[in-house]
Amino acid sequence: MSWQVCRLVLRQFLSERMRAIFKKTPQHRALDRGAGTLLHVSSLPSPYGIGAFGKDALRFVDFLEAAGQKYWQILPLGPTGYGDSPYQCFSAFAGNPYYIDLEVLVSDGLLTEQECSDCDFGSCPDKVDYGTLWQNRNNLLRIAFQRSKGEFEEEQEWLDDYSLFMAIKGHFEHVSWLQWPEGIRFRKPEPIEKLRKQLADEIQFQRFCQHHFFKQWRQLKAYANKKGISIIGDIPLYVAYDSADVWANPKEFLLNRKLMPTKVAGVPPDMFSKTGQLWRNPLYNWKRMKKTGFSWWRRRIEASAALFDIIRIDHFIGIVNYYAVPAKDKTAEHGKWAKGPGKVLIKAILESLGDSRLILEDLGHVTKKVVKLRDKFALPGMRLLQMDFDSEIEKNCAVYGGTHDNETLAGYFPDNPLAAETLIHEGYASRADLVVFQMQDYLGLGNEARMNTPGKLGGNWQWRLKEGQITAQLAERLKGLVDTYDR
């Protein structure tokens, strides 16, 4: 064999080898250096009880552009259940109908201005009144649905199960699906088809809501992207037990023959809680998921990547090792750590991302294995300045003042008014590719504006911007930070 042939054979071997390596380890694109603002859609101003995808959202995008912000981070967009937490939703795929802008429906001829102004959305304009919204806002959507011409097909693989689930849930007065009749609980064909026919109109209403949610969201996202602003979406690692996801895919979760969880998610006791946190989310059946190539997770990531430019995965450490608590326990004290799927799931996620990118919420029980997995794929983790001010900050990470679960900076430093502003400057000046602060922190608000207090029942997820709080002066101040620190 001549040296030329040997050279060609060697080149082909190396080329195939490199392709195999890159196929085996999907590459993640780094984040662009920039600054962002954390503000959930529900916190936007609007006259209709909760923030939505309409003109106030567009104005906020305009503010972000004027402020030199490259990123807008939001919380999960799913339909919330008991407790109103966006981290406990009826679906990991569906959207929350609360965010459908009513004024857009008016312009579509599906509602009148008078109908919207006559509706009671709650008495406090700067807090979300979920109870009143539940009673009244859906009634307006039903009026709009009755006036629609049925042209609202939103073809999504998950939509049939979700629409059926929500229709059945309403039929049984919104109790958990665990309390449904056995034939419906176990999805027996005959009783399911009987209910499907009986609830056909309600199923169509659910499809109507999803159509308008996604239509309006795509328009808002396109507007933001045109302004050079990327949307950071948030997805919880776990899903709620009372969800279409678990009801429609019980084999993907650790459930017994009665479809009850055998073990549930949580975190062990620590300095913040003597008994730990018992979340009660069902755990995944990782062995089965691995056999199917993580098909459910792939669908979830593909759906999220269609909505967001960047996906923040909450509680990333659970992919490496997760805390399993016996379902019968009333506290998280007696759970045990178990090994998660690790790199095989991360590969599946990266292969499903498309053009989107990731941020990992790698806080909490961070072991060497968590760091090793994160760094193996060059994925950016998170740093909280509230908790980790003195440590050196690496480039490939996202720095936050605090998250939705933390006190505001002004609330955290009540006796030091300069501390919050100092942390904001430190974050912008850091090496981190991305720096994000809550809107409350840019405004210098105290804990009256806190979004969520973990472990507290009621009073969470309610804070909203007041009219006039977002000003040209604030945009100018943030733009000055962006220019000073080259973001």
Catalytic residues: 314, 361, 405
- In angstroms, rounded to a whole number, what is the distance separating the alpha carbons of residues 67 and 63? 6
SS (H, E, C) 329-363: CCCCCCCEEEECCCHHHHHHHHHCCCCCEEEECCC
Give me the residues paired with residue 71 across strands. Answer: 36, 230
Using the CB atoms, write b or e for 351-362: b if 16+ within 10 Å.
Answer: ebbeebbbbbbb
3-class DSSP state for residue 270?
A: strand
* Backbone torsions φ then ψ of 147, nearest 5 degrees: -90, -10
Query: Which distant-in-sequence residues (6+ apart) come within 8 Å of 92 by Cβ?
Result: 78, 235, 236, 239, 243, 245, 300, 303
Task: Pick the closest to residue 244 from 290, 298, 176, 337 (CA basis).
Answer: 176
3-class DSSP state for residue 177?
A: helix
Query: Which distant-in-sequence residues (6+ apart) come within 8 Å of 429 by Cβ?
Result: 485
Q: What DSSP string runs through 434-453?
A: EEEEEHHHHTT--GGG----
Cβ pair 142, 170 in contact under 8 A: no
Query: Which distant-in-sequence residues (6+ apart) come within 8 Å of 189 by Cβ?
Result: none
Provide the 10 A C-beta neighbour count for residue 3: 7
Q: What DSSP string runs through 111-147?
A: S-HHHHHHS---S-TTB--HHHHHHHHHHHHHHHHHH
Q: What is each CA distance from 263 to 272, 276, 278, in whole angstroms? A: 23, 15, 11
Cβ pair 64, 55 in contact under 8 A: no
